[in-house]
């Protein structure tokens, strides 16, 4: 395994390499300038009169000083080490034109003998500029290739563009950085994108899930069902509200990571108030089947309040942390379940750093505005006015209507979300392209993969899960370690919750969830993110197949 120390050494070496390379590039710039200046000044295309050697030397040196000063002033040499070489190319262009202007003014101010025409000097500077830009272009491509192919390919870095940077900067400069106009705008846009009846943005998907359970007043004596094969955030809010957590196993079917729907049906009792299906990897669950089950069990449902009575059956609260942008039978996830929770955590397709959104479908007899207002109260201390409303003229006074929670979204986070939403369709498209490439290469080797796109379900392409039939948990761990040595960061989704200490302490045992264990033991998740290049995808596939060949899973032809 590559140790932390080795990584630091590698990074130091890399930085040193960039510093040395940049120094040589600067020397190259100087060399270009002098060569171009001597050639152009000697030939002087537009004038016949020959210049003396002294004039050529003088003009070259004055021009050089002007050019170097303006390039330094524009940060051409200072910032080249950041690797942002495209910005540096623009810096060179601006600096060189500024240098030309300075040169022209300097000539007039100094008013020395043997001044040369501006056309000649412009030619010198433009030719030097072209050569400098050309070198930066080559450098840029070398850099891009080197980070792609020699560095470790990360598992899931965020896709943050200049647009997000600009939106956040605007939010910071706007004078309003906590929940305010940007959060409201993001809620409005998500609601219309998802076609839901309402949307509230909070600081995480976990908070969204807990707030729904609180909205429905689910608590002690109640039972909530979810799948054992998931992340803790699907289950912990059930514990937070004091309800009984009921796990069902996942389906035995190859290629499915959904809960075992027959087990779900068996698990529903008169105490069951909600079921939390999970759209793992961004692939929608079988919602028709889930609704069929909860409707079938309507007769034994005992509501405790008007929300529960209005729903009239076990509520379906989707954990769609992974599934923003996914759709089920032509309907966007977010408008399928009764309530849907999305995560905007840093590793998700769509990020606000930390954040989440909760959407709901209209419940007959309940005003959508009432749900929105109650969620606002729950997520902001039970305070009757938010900070924006309080900031109005004479609007200081507020009440605390309940000693509640604090999980609102900030406008800084919402600013990132607004930018992400503008770019989201392109990001989803890229994920789909990568999934297609992985599918085409891996399926022929007998590696099990999930079906992300079918006539009925379109995934958001959040995670690329693979399974190697027949291997043990130890083999799987060795493959992941070996891929790490070869520069590929992989992951496991998921270690079933009954295997985790907290859930073992609650009395759960993995022996009761054999399908979840089977899905876990040979699972390897490959990197998948919208900024992943085709070269990196090829490298991942090459290394994965190479390692599988070495352990004998793939036989040499």
Ligand X SMILES: Cc1ncc(COP(=O)(O)O)c(C=O)c1O
Per CB under 6 A, residues contacting ligand X are 204-206, 230-231, 233-234, 278, 319, 321, 343, 345, 356
Q: Are strands 223-227 and 244-248 parallel, antiparallel or unpaired?
A: parallel
Of 221, 220, 236, 212, the residue nearest 497 (C-alpha): 236
Of 125, 129, 117, 133, the residue nearest 100 (C-alpha): 125
CA distance 5 to 239: 41
Of 227, 408, 440, the residue nearest 318 (C-alpha): 227
Min CB(345)–ligand X separation in Å: 4
Min CB(354)–ligand X separation in Å: 7
* Of residues 154 and 312, the one with the C-beta less far from ligand X: 154
Min CB(280)–ligand X separation in Å: 6
Min CB(507)–ligand X separation in Å: 22
Do 530 and 349 touch, CB atoms closer than 8 A? yes
* Of residues 66 and 283, the one with the C-beta less far from ligand X: 283
* Of residues 103 and 342, the one with the C-beta less far from ligand X: 342
Look at the alpha carbons of 121, 127, 131, 137 in this order and tell me if their dihedral is positive or negative.
positive
Min CB(342)–ligand X separation in Å: 8
Do 307 and 217 touch, CB atoms closer than 8 A? yes
Q: What is the CA radius of gyration of the chain?
A: 31
* Of residues 243 and 280, the one with the C-beta less far from ligand X: 280
CA distance 39 to 466: 62
Min CB(452)–ligand X separation in Å: 16
Residue 93 buriedness (CB in 10 A; 0-12 / 13-18 / 19+):
middle
**Within 44-161, where are the H helices?**
53-73, 85-110, 118-149
* Of residues 238 and 548, the one with the C-beta less far from ligand X: 238
* Of residues 278 and 548, the one with the C-beta less far from ligand X: 278
Min CB(531)–ligand X separation in Å: 19
* Of residues 234 and 460, the one with the C-beta less far from ligand X: 234
| Residue 156 C-alpha from the chain's centroid | 7
Of 182, 171, 153, 118, the residue nearest 409 (C-alpha): 182
Three-state secondary structure of 58-72: HHHHHHHHHHHHHHH
CA distance 472 to 478: 10
Min CB(215)–ligand X separation in Å: 17
Q: Are strands 331-332 and 448-449 parallel, antiparallel or unpaired?
A: unpaired
| Residue 297 C-alpha from the chain's centroid | 39
Min CB(217)–ligand X separation in Å: 22
List CB contacts of 534: < 8 A, sequence separation 6 or more.
437
Do 468 and 522 touch, CB atoms closer than 8 A? yes
Of 345, 340, 308, 542, the residue nearest 445 (C-alpha): 542
Min CB(251)–ligand X separation in Å: 16
Min CB(15)–ligand X separation in Å: 33
- Tell me phi and psi for residue 47, to 5 degrees: -130, 150
* Of residues 231 and 301, the one with the C-beta less far from ligand X: 231
CA distance 41 to 120: 7
* Of residues 85 and 345, the one with the C-beta less far from ligand X: 345
Of 231, 159, 160, 156, the residue nearest 488 (C-alpha): 156
* Of residues 126 and 421, the one with the C-beta less far from ligand X: 421
Min CB(411)–ligand X separation in Å: 18
Provide the 10 A C-beta neighbour count for residue 125.
24
**Within 380-497, where are the H helices?**
387-390, 411-442, 473-485
* Of residues 281 and 547, the one with the C-beta less far from ligand X: 281
Three-state secondary structure of 480-502: HHHHHHCCECCECCCCCHHHCHH
Provide the 10 A C-beta neighbour count for residue 90.
12
Min CB(299)–ligand X separation in Å: 31
* Of residues 25 and 324, the one with the C-beta less far from ligand X: 324
* Of residues 107 and 205, the one with the C-beta less far from ligand X: 205
* Of residues 281 and 488, the one with the C-beta less far from ligand X: 281
Do 289 and 556 touch, CB atoms closer than 8 A? no
Min CB(201)–ligand X separation in Å: 11
């Amino acid at each position: 395994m590559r140790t932390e120390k080795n990584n630091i050494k590698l990074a130091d070496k890399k930085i040193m390499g960039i510093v040395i390379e940049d120094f040589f590039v600067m020397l190259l710039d100087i060399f270009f300038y002098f060569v171009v200046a001597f050639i152009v000044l000697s030939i002087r295309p537009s004038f016949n009169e020959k210049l003396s050697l002294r004039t050529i030397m003088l003009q070259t040196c004055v021009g050089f000083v002007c050019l170097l000063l303006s390039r330094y002033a524009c940060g051409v040499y200072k910032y080249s080490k950041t690797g942002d070489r495209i910005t540096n190319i623009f810096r060179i262009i601006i600096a060189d034109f500024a240098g030309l202007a300075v040169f022209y003014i300097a000539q007039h101010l100094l008013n020395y003998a043997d001044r040369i025409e501006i056309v000649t000097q412009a030619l010198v500077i433009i030719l030097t500029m072209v050569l400098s830009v050309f070198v930066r272009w080559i450098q840029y491509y070398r850099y891009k290739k080197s980070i792609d192919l020699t560095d470790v390919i990360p598992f899931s870095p965020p896709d943050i563009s200049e647009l997000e940077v600009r939106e956040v900067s605007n939010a910071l400069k706007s004078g309003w950085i906590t929940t305010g106009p940007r959060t409201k705008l993001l809620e409005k846009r998500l609601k219309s994108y998802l076609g839901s009846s309402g949307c509230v943005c909070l600081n995480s998907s976990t908070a969204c899930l807990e707030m729904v359970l609180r909205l429905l007043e689910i608590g002690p004596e109640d039972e909530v069902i979810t799948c054992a094969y998931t992340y803790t955030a699907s289950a912990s809010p059930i514990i937070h509200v004091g309800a009984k957590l009921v796990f069902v196993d996942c389906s035995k079917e190859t290629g499915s990571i959904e809960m075992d729907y027959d087990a779900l049906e068996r698990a529903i009792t008169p105490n069951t108030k909600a079921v939390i299906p999970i759209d793992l990897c961004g692939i929608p669950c079988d919602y028709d089947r889930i609704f069929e089950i909860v409707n079938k069990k309507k007769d034994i449902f005992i509501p405790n309040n008007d929300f529960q009575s209005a729903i009239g059956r076990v509520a379906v609260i989707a954990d769609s942390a992974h599934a923003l942008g996914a759709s089920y039978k032509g309907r966007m996830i977010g408008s399928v379940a009764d309530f849907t929770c999305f995560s905007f955590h840093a590793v998700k397709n769509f990020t606000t750093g930390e954040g989440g959104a909760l959407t709901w479908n209209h419940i007959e007899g309940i005003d959508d505005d009432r749900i929105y207002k109650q969620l606002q109260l729950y997520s902001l201390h039970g305070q009757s006015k938010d900070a924006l409303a309080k900031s109005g003229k004479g609007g200081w006074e507020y009440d605390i209507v309940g000693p509640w929670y604090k999980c609102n979204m900030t406008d800084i986070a919402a600013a990132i979300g607004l930018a992400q939403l503008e770019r989201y369709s392109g990001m989803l498209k890229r994920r789909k392209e990568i999934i297609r490439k992985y599918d085409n290469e891996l399926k022929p080797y007998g590696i099990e993969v999930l079906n992300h796109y079918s006539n009925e379900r379109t995934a958001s392409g959040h995670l690329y899960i693979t399974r190697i039939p027949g291997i043990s948990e130890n083999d799987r761990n060795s493959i992941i370690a070996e891929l790490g040595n070869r520069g590929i960061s992989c992951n496991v989704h998921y270690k079933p919750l009954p295997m985790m200490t907290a859930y073992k302490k609650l009395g759960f045992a993995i022996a009761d969830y054999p399908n979840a264990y089977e899905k876990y033991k040979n699972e390897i998740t490959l990197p998948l993110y919208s900024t992943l290049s085709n070269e990196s995808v090829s490298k991942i596939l090459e290394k994965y197949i190479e390692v599988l060949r070495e352990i004998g899973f793939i036989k040499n032809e």
